[in-house]
Amino acid sequence: MSPQITTVQTAPIAGQKPGTSGLRKKTPVFMGRHYLENFVQSILDVVGCAGKTFVLGGDGRYFNDRAAQVILRMAAANGAARVIVGQGAILSTPAASHLIRLNQTDGGIIMSASHNPGGPNEDFGVKFNMANGGPAPEAVTEAMYQRTTTISEYKVLEAQDVDLGQIGRHKLGAMVVDVVDPVTDYAELMMKLFNFEAIHTLFKSGFRMRMDCMCAVTGPYAVEIFENLLGAPKGTVVNAIPLPDFGGMHPDPNPTWAKALMDEMFSVMAPDFGAASDGDGDRNMVVGRGIYVSPSDSLAVLAANAKLAPGYETGLKGVARSMPTSAAADRVANALGIGKYETPTGWKFFGNLLDAGRATICGEESFGTGSDHVREKDGLWAVLLWLNILAVRKQSVAAILRDHWAKYGRNYYSRHDFEAIATDKADAMMAALRGSLAGLPGQVIEGMTISAADDFAYTDPVDGSISTRQGVRVLFQDGSRIVYRLSGTGTEGATLRVYLERYAPGPDGLDHDAQAALSPVIRAAHSLAAIAAFTGRSEPDVVT
Ligand code: G1P
Ligand code: ZN
């Protein structure tokens, strides 16, 4: 007898609107009655489910395993033909993107709240990626949201859990569930893109690396790739076991949250190269011995040197960066004579450019870098490309950065975050700022003249879609820039992000501390937006 499909009566739940990257809420909210089910049914209603094949996996955070079983039962009840699941319901976000593409599936559901902490009282999230492997575009997530506002029932199969620990084929009613090793296919893709032999030789020569996986999803991937395949000494990868609460860590690879790695990289016995990745494995931070690599610089260096890796030896088609990311990558694109693109924040905006073959490498200041090999940013990919470059150039990270600045000049850059501000205060500040824009050009502040001020809008060059209100920009005559926007991924109040940039053409003035070099821009940012008056905050919580 085949298992029974139950139709459950439900009612819309307010606030199921996906943000920058899917629907993210506090775990207890997601675990609330009908909450996950309403959202999953809305996804399936919008993308269609009957006869389709999907990928399913998540970053292993608290509730990941149980949510996976619910999603499987709902997919089966809605008539899906097949779901490919990472063993233990684990898949890094880039690995999920790869599996969607490799198996030519109809898309995938990723359970993750990325770099947000995990646990019974922390964050959980669900997002849908399309058949191209990339996050659903805004029109699709908006349709999902609209569906959540009218939903009245969902379908679920009455069946026991699938044994997701067991690799191989399972059945759930009429639906096939293929449980796969989460690492194998991803590692194979990396072997195609990078010169593993050169990196292997580098490790054999005594090169030392520290990879901090922050008790999140990349642990098994990093151990397999760096230690088993590339011959890095055992123990190179730390915090390598994914834990439901990330061991209490905040799995966001930046100097604040990956402090242990920063301390080690600035110590007397520092390894040659350090890296960290986030909860779901799409972000990365890269550090040399005694030198931090800002993500904007990392993007520029990777673009300038990509040809040294086999996967990119024929050159890049173009480089894309999110608007708040520094213009360092633009200078590389200009020098290479290739396309350059400036998109709103969020990886989904790169999808069309990658699909259309306009861009090969993309990056965001928020520790995200990636290429057309998948349709997500990819933390380990960035670390491997750096290793490939280090192995071929046989120079230190510091030497490579200094070379880069000498050639292109340096875009001093920093982001200041003000977290958990009352939403009404943050909104009032942004509204006042938007209201003041017309009067700003021509004003002089901190000795710098404002040349333009606007609210960033983007017209996608591929499909013509328009995204407005993507962040307030204040541009100065000397090339300095301030950007203000509110986070779309937070789950508590509002997070104000202030992005600060100043260009030094060189040859002098390339070696300053970034915060010191930016100090007039920082002061201008505070006074232009009256941050303290509106929010009561005069110091950021996180500086990257
Ligand atoms: C943040 C980052 C953004 C990134 C997103 C998902 O979004 O700023 O670059 O794409 O996380 O990782 P935000 O919270 O700023 O909306
Ligand atoms: Zn992430």
Enumerate the β-bridge partners of residue 220: none
Please report the pLDDT score of residue 285 as a whole number.
98
The string of pLDDT tens digits covering residues 446-460 is 999 999 999 999 999
Alpha carbon of 390 to ligand 2 centroid (Å): 25
Q: Do domains 186-408 and 410-543 have the same CATH topology?
A: no
Q: Where are the domains of the chain?
A: 4-181, 186-408, 410-543
Alpha carbon of 19 to ligand 2 centroid (Å): 14
- Strands in 481-486's sheet, in edge-to-edge order, are 444-445, 448-455, 472-476, 481-486, 494-504, 410-421, 542-543
The string of pLDDT tens digits covering residues 354-409 is 999 999 999 999 999 999 999 999 999 999 999 999 999 999 999 999 999 999 99
Alpha carbon of 351 to ligand 1 centroid (Å): 15
Counting ligand 1 atoms within 8 A of each CB, the residue from 20, 365, 487 with the most, and so the one to mutate, is: 20
Please report the pLDDT score of residue 19 as a whole number.
81
- Token pair in block for residue 180: 């796969």
Does domain 410-543 correspond to CATH entry 3.40.50.720? no
Q: Which ligand is nearest to the CA of 21?
A: 1
In CATH, the number for domain 186-408 is 3.40.120.10
Q: What is the pTM of this model?
A: 0.93
Q: Which ligand is nearest to the CA of 364?
A: 1
Q: How many other CB atoms are there within 10 angstroms of residue 392's CB atom?
A: 16
Alpha helices in 172-283 (DSSP H): 184-193, 196-204, 219-222, 259-265
Please report the pLDDT score of residue 1 as a whole number.
58
Beta strands in 218-261 (DSSP E): 237-238
* Homologous superfamily of 4-181: Alpha-D-Glucose-1,6-Bisphosphate, subunit A, domain 3 (3.40.120.10)
Enclosing H/E stretch for 474: strand 472-476
CA–CA dist 276, 431 (Å, integer) = 36
Mean pLDDT of 108-117: 95
Alpha carbon of 393 to ligand 1 centroid (Å): 32
Q: Which ligand is nearest to the CA of 368?
A: 1
Enumerate the β-bridge partners of residue 288: 273, 291
**pLDDT at position 492 over 90:** no
Calculated CA dihedral for residues 160, 164, 170, 172, nearest 10 degrees = 30
Please report the pLDDT score of residue 491 as a whole number.
67
Atom of ligand 1 nearest to the CA of 485: 15
Mapped to the 3 state alphabet, what secondary structure does 132-180 carry? CCCECCHHHHHHHHHHHCCCCEEEEECCCCCCCCCCEEEEECCEEEEEE
Enclosing H/E stretch for 87: strand 82-90
**pLDDT at position 2 over 80:** no
Atom of ligand 1 nearest to the CA of 21: 6
Residue 195's alpha-carbon distances to 229, 306, 319, in angstroms, are 12, 12, 22
**pLDDT at position 154 over 90:** yes
Q: Kindly list the protein residues whose Cβ atom lies closer than 6 A to any atom of ligand 1.
A: 20-21, 114, 322, 345-347, 364, 366, 368, 487-489, 497
| Catalytic hit among 114, 277, 296, 326 | 114
Q: Is the dihedral of CA 3, 5, 8, 12 positive or negative?
A: positive
**pLDDT at position 27 over 90:** yes
CA–CA dist 540, 544 (Å, integer) = 10
- Are the C-beta atoms of 179 and 87 separated by less than 8 Å? yes
The string of pLDDT tens digits covering residues 496-543 is 999 999 999 989 989 999 999 999 999 999 999 999 999 999 999 989
Mean pLDDT of 53-60: 98
- Are the C-beta atoms of 54 and 81 separated by less than 8 Å? no
Q: Cα-flanking dihedrals φ and ψ of residue 5, to 5°?
A: -95, 125
pLDDT above 70: percentage of residues in the chain: 99
Alpha carbon of 269 to ligand 2 centroid (Å): 30
**pLDDT at position 28 over 90:** yes
The string of pLDDT tens digits covering residues 306-335 is 999 999 999 999 999 999 999 999 999 999
CA–CA dist 495, 539 (Å, integer) = 13
Computed over every residue of the chain, the mean pLDDT equals: 96
More confident residue, 123 or 479: 123
Give the chain's radius of gyration (CA, Å): 23
CA–CA dist 206, 195 (Å, integer) = 18
Nearest CA to ligand 1 atom 15: 487
Please report the pLDDT score of residue 347 as a whole number.
87
CA–CA dist 391, 48 (Å, integer) = 47
Please report the pLDDT score of residue 26 as a whole number.
95
The string of pLDDT tens digits covering residues 161-198 is 999 999 999 999 999 999 999 999 999 999 999 999 99
Q: Is 152 a catalytic residue?
A: no
**Of residues 406, 401, 397, 398, the one with CA closest to residue 509:** 406
The string of pLDDT tens digits covering residues 230-254 is 999 999 999 999 999 999 989 999 9
The string of pLDDT tens digits covering residues 433-482 is 999 999 999 999 999 999 999 999 999 999 998 999 999 999 999 889 99
Region at 447 (left for phi over 0; alpha for psi -120 to 50; beta for the rest): left
